[in-house]
């Protein structure tokens, strides 16, 4: 059971939020946990404690069982469409609006809760589960719209048989270069990095805290449990996104 955050650390991070010219926030699955979306590595409830990522989050797994993988993502997509942004998402978007030019949000999440909370410029490192793309480049060099290939689980191009896949980054795949560049740039320039709801288990996202610290930023982690990057933090605030972000980011002071 996570203990309450240290009030001295909380006050110190709040002071740095107030003074920061640039705040970079890196979020992980824990950011959406209070919206009812399962994380990956929480003991017992995490997705990877029930499902095999090699089967469900790899190109090989998709090629081997396309319908099984497509259906799993379809089920997750439905859950994400029903989910609502939580107080943490809303606090981030409100802070960004009240402090123009200060906030950059970089997420590992593939849901759209930051965007639906009012922060459309969120940098997506691991793609968008609500979007789809072709599994391979078109063998005929055509640029057909995957959304038009509506038939099948997964949908398949009627002309060349190409499969439609979720537009997310699977294990072993490269992250979108522009997103990585933007995230690295924000991590190097920020005065304060808030790391919210990530186990720090997956790189290069997990390396952004080190990038920020090495560039001179202060680093604070918001997480009810230990993470693999706690050592990169000047402060570790033991608590959840929806309970800690509103008081940390409230600009009505």
Residue 34 touching ligand APR (CB under 6 A):
yes
Closest approach of ligand APR to the CB of residue 29, in Å: 3
Helix residue ranges per DSSP H, the chain: 7-19, 30-33, 53-56, 59-64, 66-82, 87-98, 113-116, 177-189, 208-214, 241-249
3-state secondary structure 164-221: EEEEECCCCCCCCHHHHHHHHHHHHHCCEEEEECCCCCCCCHHHHHHHHHHCCCEEEE
Counting residues that bind ligand APR (by CB under 6 A) gives 25
Site string for ligand APR, 139-178 (x = CB under 6 A): ----------------------------------------
Q: Quick one: which of 6, 12, 22, 46 contacts ligand APR (CB under 6 A)?
A: 46
CB-closest chain residue to ligand APR: 30
Residue 180 touching ligand APR (CB under 6 A):
no
Q: Which of 126, 185, 210, 234 is catalytic?
A: 126
Contact 88, 129 (CB under 8 A): no
Closest approach of ligand APR to the CB of residue 145, in Å: 26
Q: Which stretch binds ligand APR (CB under 6 A): 16-24, 155-163, 190-198, 208-216?
A: 190-198
Burial class for 199, CB neighbours closer than 10 Å (0-12, 13-18, 19+): buried
| DSSP-derived pairing of the beta strands 127-134 and 164-168 | antiparallel
Residue 61 touching ligand APR (CB under 6 A):
no
| β-sheet bridge partners, residue 152 | 155
User: Is 126 an active-site residue?
Assistant: yes
- Which residues contact ligand APR by CB under 6 A? 28-30, 33-34, 39-42, 46, 108, 126, 196-199, 201-202, 222-225, 227, 240-241
Active site members: 126
């Amino acid at each position: 059971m996570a203990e309450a955050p240290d009030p001295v650390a909380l006050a110190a991070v709040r002071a740095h939020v107030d003074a920061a010219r640039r705040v970079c926030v890196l979020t992980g699955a824990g950011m959406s946990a209070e919206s009812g979306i399962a994380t990956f590595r929480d003991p017992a409830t995490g997705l990877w404690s029930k499902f095999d990522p090699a089967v469900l989050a790899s190109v090989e797994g998709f090629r081997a069982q396309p319908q099984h993988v497509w259906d799993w993502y379809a089920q997750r997509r439905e859950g994400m469409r029903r989910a609502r942004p939580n107080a943490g998402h809303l606090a981030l978007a409100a802070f960004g609006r009240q402090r123009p030019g200060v906030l950059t949000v970089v997420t590992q999440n593939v849901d759209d809760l930051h965007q639906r909370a009012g922060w459309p410029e969120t940098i997506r490192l691991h793609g968008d589960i609500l979007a789809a793309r072709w599994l391979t480049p078109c063998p005929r060099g055509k640029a057909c719209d995957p959304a038009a290939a509506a038939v099948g689980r997964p949908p398949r191009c009627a002309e060349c048989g190409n499969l439609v896949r979720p537009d997310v980054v699977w294990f072993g795949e490269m992250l979108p270069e522009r997103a990585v560049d933007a995230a690295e740039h924000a991590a190097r320039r920020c005065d304060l990095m808030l790391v919210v709801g990530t186990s720090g288990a997956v790189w290069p996202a997990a390396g952004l805290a080190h990038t920020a610290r090495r560039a001179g930023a202060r680093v604070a982690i918001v997480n009810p449990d230990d993470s693999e990057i706690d050592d990169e933090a000047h402060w570790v605030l033991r608590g959840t996104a929806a309970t800690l972000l509103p008081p940390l980011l409230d600009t009505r002071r």
